Protein backbone atom coordinates (compact mmCIF):
# COMPACT_ATOMS: atom_id res chain seq x y z
CA UNK A 1 0.00 0.00 0.00
CA UNK A 2 1.20 3.44 -0.93
CA UNK A 3 -0.50 5.21 1.98
CA UNK A 4 1.60 3.73 4.82
CA UNK A 5 4.79 3.89 2.75
CA UNK A 6 4.26 7.58 1.98
CA UNK A 7 3.20 8.28 5.56
CA UNK A 8 6.55 7.01 6.83
CA UNK A 9 8.64 8.73 4.16
CA UNK A 10 11.46 10.50 6.07
CA UNK A 11 11.08 13.55 3.79
CA UNK A 12 7.41 13.89 4.79
CA UNK A 13 7.62 15.67 8.14
CA UNK A 14 4.42 17.69 8.44
CA UNK A 15 0.86 16.97 7.38
CA UNK A 16 0.18 20.64 6.62
CA UNK A 17 3.31 21.49 4.59
CA UNK A 18 1.99 22.31 1.12
CA UNK A 19 5.26 21.61 -0.72
CA UNK A 20 5.69 18.20 0.89
CA UNK A 21 2.05 17.35 0.20
CA UNK A 22 2.45 18.28 -3.47
CA UNK A 23 5.27 15.73 -3.75
CA UNK A 24 3.11 13.11 -2.01
CA UNK A 25 0.26 13.92 -4.41
CA UNK A 26 2.56 13.37 -7.40
CA UNK A 27 3.60 10.01 -5.94
CA UNK A 28 -0.03 9.02 -5.49
CA UNK A 29 -0.87 10.02 -9.06
CA UNK A 30 2.09 7.96 -10.31
CA UNK A 31 0.61 4.93 -8.54
CA UNK A 32 -3.07 5.59 -9.29
CA UNK A 33 -2.82 6.74 -12.91
CA UNK A 34 -2.64 3.27 -14.49
CA UNK A 35 -5.39 2.05 -12.19
CA UNK A 36 -7.73 4.91 -13.04
CA UNK A 37 -7.04 5.77 -16.67
CA UNK A 38 -5.90 2.53 -18.26
CA UNK A 39 -8.16 0.02 -16.63
CA UNK A 40 -11.52 -1.06 -17.99
CA UNK A 41 -12.28 -2.65 -14.64
CA UNK A 42 -11.78 0.60 -12.69
CA UNK A 43 -14.42 0.98 -10.00
CA UNK A 44 -14.64 4.40 -8.35
CA UNK A 45 -16.74 2.97 -5.51
CA UNK A 46 -14.06 0.44 -4.62
CA UNK A 47 -11.26 3.01 -4.35
CA UNK A 48 -13.48 5.47 -2.51
CA UNK A 49 -14.45 2.82 0.04
CA UNK A 50 -10.86 1.63 0.40
CA UNK A 51 -9.50 5.12 1.11
CA UNK A 52 -12.37 5.95 3.49
CA UNK A 53 -11.73 2.74 5.43
CA UNK A 54 -8.01 3.52 5.66
CA UNK A 55 -8.82 7.00 6.95
CA UNK A 56 -10.96 5.48 9.70
CA UNK A 57 -7.93 3.57 11.03
CA UNK A 58 -4.76 4.58 12.84
CA UNK A 59 -1.18 3.86 11.91
CA UNK A 60 -0.31 0.39 13.23
CA UNK A 61 3.28 1.29 14.11
CA UNK A 62 2.46 4.51 15.97
CA UNK A 63 -1.14 4.27 17.13
CA UNK A 64 -0.83 6.97 19.76
CA UNK A 65 1.32 9.40 17.75
CA UNK A 66 -1.05 12.07 16.46
CA UNK A 67 1.58 13.53 14.11
CA UNK A 68 1.93 10.21 12.26
CA UNK A 69 -1.82 9.61 12.19
CA UNK A 70 -2.44 13.13 10.86
CA UNK A 71 0.11 12.51 8.11
CA UNK A 72 -1.58 9.22 7.22
CA UNK A 73 -5.01 10.86 7.14
CA UNK A 74 -3.64 13.71 5.00
CA UNK A 75 -2.28 11.12 2.54
CA UNK A 76 -5.76 9.53 2.48
CA UNK A 77 -7.29 12.95 1.74
CA UNK A 78 -4.78 13.45 -1.06
CA UNK A 79 -5.59 10.02 -2.48
CA UNK A 80 -9.30 10.89 -2.52
CA UNK A 81 -8.46 14.23 -4.13
CA UNK A 82 -6.55 12.46 -6.90
CA UNK A 83 -9.37 9.94 -7.36
CA UNK A 84 -12.03 12.69 -7.53
CA UNK A 85 -10.05 14.90 -9.88
CA UNK A 86 -8.91 12.18 -12.28
CA UNK A 87 -11.91 9.88 -12.43
CA UNK A 88 -14.21 10.14 -15.39
CA UNK A 89 -16.68 7.54 -14.11
CA UNK A 90 -18.21 7.80 -10.66
CA UNK A 91 -20.03 4.50 -10.42
CA UNK A 92 -20.83 3.55 -6.85
CA UNK A 93 -21.63 -0.05 -7.65
CA UNK A 94 -20.68 -2.64 -5.09
CA UNK A 95 -17.39 -4.37 -5.63
CA UNK A 96 -17.59 -8.19 -5.62
CA UNK A 97 -15.32 -8.54 -2.59
CA UNK A 98 -15.06 -6.70 0.70
CA UNK A 99 -12.31 -4.09 0.98
CA UNK A 100 -10.00 -5.31 3.68
CA UNK A 101 -7.48 -3.16 5.47
CA UNK A 102 -4.27 -4.99 6.47
CA UNK A 103 -3.69 -4.86 10.22
CA UNK A 104 0.05 -4.88 9.60
CA UNK A 105 -0.24 -1.24 8.47
CA UNK A 106 -3.51 -0.02 9.96
CA UNK A 107 -4.86 -0.31 13.50
CA UNK A 108 -8.63 -0.23 13.90
CA UNK A 109 -10.38 2.59 15.74
CA UNK A 110 -13.46 2.15 17.88
CA UNK A 111 -16.46 0.79 16.01
CA UNK A 112 -18.23 4.15 15.94
CA UNK A 113 -15.26 6.28 14.87
CA UNK A 114 -15.79 8.22 11.64
CA UNK A 115 -12.99 10.49 10.48
CA UNK A 116 -14.67 13.38 8.67
CA UNK A 117 -12.00 16.01 9.28
CA UNK A 118 -10.05 17.19 6.23
CA UNK A 119 -6.33 17.21 6.97
CA UNK A 120 -5.24 19.15 3.89
CA UNK A 121 -4.47 22.85 3.72
CA UNK A 122 -7.12 24.75 1.71
CA UNK A 123 -4.71 25.13 -1.23
CA UNK A 124 -4.73 21.36 -1.78
CA UNK A 125 -8.36 20.57 -1.09
CA UNK A 126 -10.23 19.32 -4.12
CA UNK A 127 -12.65 21.84 -5.57
CA UNK A 128 -14.94 20.44 -8.27
CA UNK A 129 -15.04 22.43 -11.46
CA UNK A 130 -18.17 24.49 -11.73
CA UNK A 131 -20.01 24.35 -14.99
CA UNK A 132 -21.00 27.89 -15.75
CA UNK A 133 -24.19 28.24 -17.66
CA UNK A 134 -23.57 30.48 -20.58
CA UNK A 135 -25.22 33.70 -19.67
CA UNK A 136 -25.96 36.33 -22.25
CA UNK A 137 -23.92 39.31 -21.18
CA UNK A 138 -25.84 41.77 -23.33
CA UNK A 139 -28.04 44.09 -21.39
CA UNK A 140 -31.71 43.59 -21.87
CA UNK A 141 -33.67 46.62 -22.82
CA UNK A 142 -35.50 48.00 -19.86
CA UNK A 143 -39.23 48.08 -19.85
CA UNK A 144 -40.87 51.43 -19.95
CA UNK A 145 -42.04 52.59 -16.59
CA UNK A 146 -45.78 52.44 -16.14
CA UNK A 147 -47.59 55.65 -16.41
CA UNK A 148 -49.58 56.43 -13.37
CA UNK A 149 -53.13 57.54 -13.96
Who wins on pLDDT, 35 or 10?
10
Per the domain annotation, does 37 fall within a domain? yes
Q: What is the pLDDT of residues 31-58, one digit of tens each?
A: 999 888 877 778 888 888 899 999 999 9
pTM exceeds 0.75 for this model: yes
Per the domain annotation, does 110 fall within a domain? yes
Per the domain annotation, does 149 fall within a domain? no
Per the domain annotation, does 135 fall within a domain? no
User: Which residue segment(s) compose the domain that 55 sits in?
Assistant: 2-124
In terms of Cα–Cα distance, which of 20, 18, 113, 19 is closest to 7? Answer: 20
pLDDT band at 147 (very low <50, low <70, confident <90, very high): low
The pLDDT value given to residue 44: 85
The whole-angstrom separation of Cα 7 and Cα 138 is: 53
Per the domain annotation, does 25 fall within a domain? yes
The pLDDT value given to residue 125: 85
Q: Give the mean pLDDT of 89-100.
A: 69
- Whether residue 94 has pLDDT greater than 70: no
Beta strands per DSSP E along 1-55? none
Residues 77, 119 contacting (CB under 8 angstroms):
yes
Q: Give the mean pLDDT of 82-102.
A: 76
The whole-angstrom separation of Cα 124 and Cα 130 is: 17
Per the domain annotation, does 10 fall within a domain? yes
The whole-angstrom separation of Cα 106 and Cα 91 is: 27
Q: How many domains does the chain have?
A: 1
Per the domain annotation, does 24 fall within a domain? yes
Amino acid sequence: FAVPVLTHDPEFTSYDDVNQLKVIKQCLWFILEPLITRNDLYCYGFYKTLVERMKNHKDALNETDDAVNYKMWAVCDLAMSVIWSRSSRFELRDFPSDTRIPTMYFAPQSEYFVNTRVFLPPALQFQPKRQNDQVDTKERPRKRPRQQA
